[in-house]
Chain A
Amino acid sequence: MSLREPPVMCMIHDCATGETTERELTEEEYAIRDDMQAVAEEQQAIMAQKQADAVAGRQKLLDLGLSEDEVTALVGAPAPDGAEDVENPAPAV
């Protein structure tokens, strides 16, 4: 019987014997995995917030009257959303 559904598996290869086994995580391994996943979700949220802050902050500078070049000189180039795909350019409209 699995500890969780669906079970989370791990793979272990013994270099001395050449044998590879797959098994479900133990309770302890599940706990470690849960802890790391919780940390990762916090990290992902922080990264998303940083991205949103960068966009909002840049816009505020533009709203103050600075030019694009001036804002870029201060805080660097904007995130490259909208960069043209040179191999597959958007069709003319």
Chain B
Amino acid sequence: MADQQWVLETHLQANNAVSSVTFSSNNSQYATNQAGNTTLLDYPNAPVFRIHFKVQFQTSANSLGSSNFYFHGNYQSSNDFVYDYASATSNTTMTPNSAVGTSRDYGYSTGNQQLGYGSMGSQFTNYNWGTAVTDLDGNSVASTSRRRGAWCTGWFENHFPDQAGYYPWHYHLGIVTDQQADNSASGPTPDWGAWCIGAGGCSAGPYIDTITIGSGYNFIGDFFLFRGMNGNYQANE
């Protein structure tokens, strides 16, 4: 395959529940092209950071608080953010057959970028439904299996602007279930999921050599850190 601009810098797999994951020394890894030449993944060579993820929050809380899911670069101060969301249980709830508006949250000079209203607990109240089921391969899947929990998927992206005081973030995530999340006695699938889209930045300093993603709830999941380079410096197998 020809040399390309995008590098999968690392894949972090959290199989044991943790409260945060951190990528450190983000600017110290090298990309290698087909000729064997290396290029440092520093800010000038690789200015775009993109993290794709899937995560399960180990809680039965249907709605998370905004600060229950967050991320930040090197600084836990001077973070600003705004996002539009449809939460799991508020009157912005969506169902497969309808959606009722969105709401928004924002913060100024806070510790981190927050997006918790755009997700929900993966062990939502009604997730332990029924008994064990059999999957397509004939395996028994217990009612409380992680495979029955809801996955929140999404991405964070940052284009490092190479200036002293500010770096921007953009993000988008969503989560759906095949059950009503709130265990209400009403229709079959209200309170179906949540999503958000937002943006923010930090004025405490220009550095994102470290990125931390965290929650007050423990979580499992996968995190892929990609770097976009300013040239075709990487041979991806």
Contacts and interface: CB of A to CB of B under 8 A. Distances in A.
B19 A33 contact: yes
A51 B90 contact: yes
A13 B72 CA distance: 15
A40 B67 contact: yes
Interface residues on B, range: 35 or more
B98 interface: yes
B95 A51 contact: no
A86 B19 CA distance: 37
B101 interface: yes
Given A9-B18, A11-B18, A43 B23 contact: no
A15 B10 CA distance: 7
A13 B186 CA distance: 45
B190 A80 contact: yes
A8 B24 CA distance: 20
B20 A11 contact: yes
A36 B98 contact: no
Given A16-B25, A39-B65, A76-B100, A11 B12 contact: yes
Contacts of B95: 80, 83
B66 interface: yes
A83 B190 contact: yes
Nearest to B216: A37
A61 interface: no
Interface string A1-22: 0000000111111111110101
B232 interface: no
Contacts of A9: 16-19, 218
Contacts of B214: 10, 33
Interface in B1-57: 9-10, 12, 14, 16-26, 28-29, 41
Interface string A58-93: 000000000000000000111111111111111000
Given A47-B63, A84-B187, A87-B96, A13 B218 contact: no
Given A79-B93, A86-B96, A22 B216 contact: no
A51 B24 CA distance: 40
Contact of B100 (A12, A42, A78, A87): A78
A27 interface: no
5 contacts: A16-B29, A44-B68, A50-B90, A80-B95, A82-B190
Given A10-B214, A83-B190, A85-B97, 8 more contacts: A9-B19, A12-B22, A16-B24, A20-B12, A22-B18, A37-B68, A43-B65, A80-B99
Interface of A: 8-18, 20, 22, 25, 32-33, 36-37, 39-44, 47-48, 50-51, 54-55, 76-90
